[in-house]
Structure 1
């Protein structure tokens, strides 16, 4: 009875993480939209919703702490709880980065540097796909999908490096340099989101076999 109850609570925790993942994906979608369209209403929405994302993570952590205290799990059960906390933390940090994206989007001239913005939007959609796929790997325990994150992360890293390398080549004005600096911030936030998506995949692999593989 106790073990059955534990596994039911563990499934509830995993459902909470799936819900948090969906909310964070929505935040990222809105941050991408806000950046592309300089949509102040969406920017405000992303910033204000961060408190709810933090609350979801706290609820997951509290549930895990209670399960550890009451059930004293060992071996694979304890590993699953540790993974739950780690993934919740990584998702919360993605939420923070979407807020950073939204805040910086307010300072970017919507009509300037359209080509650079297009590069960033392509990079953002790739990172978004990574996050979505890593959540699928968690929900389905699909290690093949999780392992693919290494190649995806390399792609985003290459995009980031190429973007930064070409960013300041032709700009001389003070205003232009400031705008490009803001675009560099956006690029860094997207690259970090891809890293956290990779982290989620690493935790999926760790939960399955107890070994930590560095996919970054």
Structure 2
């Protein structure tokens, strides 16, 4: 029985990793729309969001199956419960990526992304944060999970830097409408990072209780 249960837990980990890969690609593709408005690419982000929703449902059913058939206790129970909570945050990350893509597609046609590269740095930091949070669950690495909160400070600092830089460039000749769009993109990235922090907190719960 234990061998079968361990196999089911490995399958759960694989599902979470597959969902995490969709999330990573969704964020990357949504941010890449800053370089070029590409309807096909925007549609891909929407498709990713839909597939993430499907994975959420699949993982929910798998976890409920484990509850019913295996009746897990102690650490196993916490681990499966944490997975159920995590996928809610992961699904919302997919939603936020779609929101970013939608904003990118309505940016003014004459905006200059190369004047504002820091937002891509923020996106990279956010993706790293999400990946680290998921990895901490798969590896049951409490030290990595506990570092996520401090790593989130990096993303928060990027948001402050972007806000301050936007204030300065609005005073010059930067399109105020584009500035608002950029601050919204940064805000969605900050929210994604917050979801990563939530995931890490559930990892800590699954290990410590």
TM-score of the alignment, normalized to the shorter chain, above 0.5: yes
TM superposition shift of 1:107 = 1.0
Match runs of 1:29-40 below 5 Å: 29-40=28-39
Residue correspondences, number: 208
TM superposition shift of 1:169 = 4.4
Corresponding position of 1:158: 157
What are the Cα deviations for residues 72-106 of structure 1, in whole angstroms up to 9, with x where unaligned?
Answer: 22211110111111122211111111101111000
Query: What do you get for the CA RMSD once the two structures are aligned?
Result: 2.1
TM superposition shift of 1:43 = 1.1
The alignment status of 1:147 with 2:116, answered yes or no, reads no
TM-score by length of 2: 0.89
Counterpart CA distance in 2 for 1:147 and 1:37 is: 37
Corresponding position of 2:81: 82
Corresponding position of 1:203: 202
| Alignment gaps of 5+ in structure 2 | none
Match runs of 1:165-204 below 5 Å: 165-169=164-168, 171=170, 176-204=175-203
Counterpart CA distance in 1 for 2:148 and 2:122 is: 15
TM superposition shift of 1:110 = 5.3
TM-score by length of 1: 0.87
* 1:33–1:39 contact (8 Å) kept in structure 2: no
What are the Cα deviations for residues 117-145 of structure 1, in whole angstroms up to 9, with x where unaligned?
Answer: 31211111111111122222222222232
Mark the CA change 1:136 to 1:110 in structure 2 (over 3 Å): closer, same or farther: farther
* 2:133–2:199 contact (8 Å) kept in structure 1: yes
Counterpart CA distance in 2 for 1:116 and 1:82 is: 45
Per chain length, whose mean CA-contact separation is higher, i.e. which structure has more relative contact order (CA < 8 Å, sep 6+)? 2
| Alignment gaps of 5+ in structure 1 | 211-216
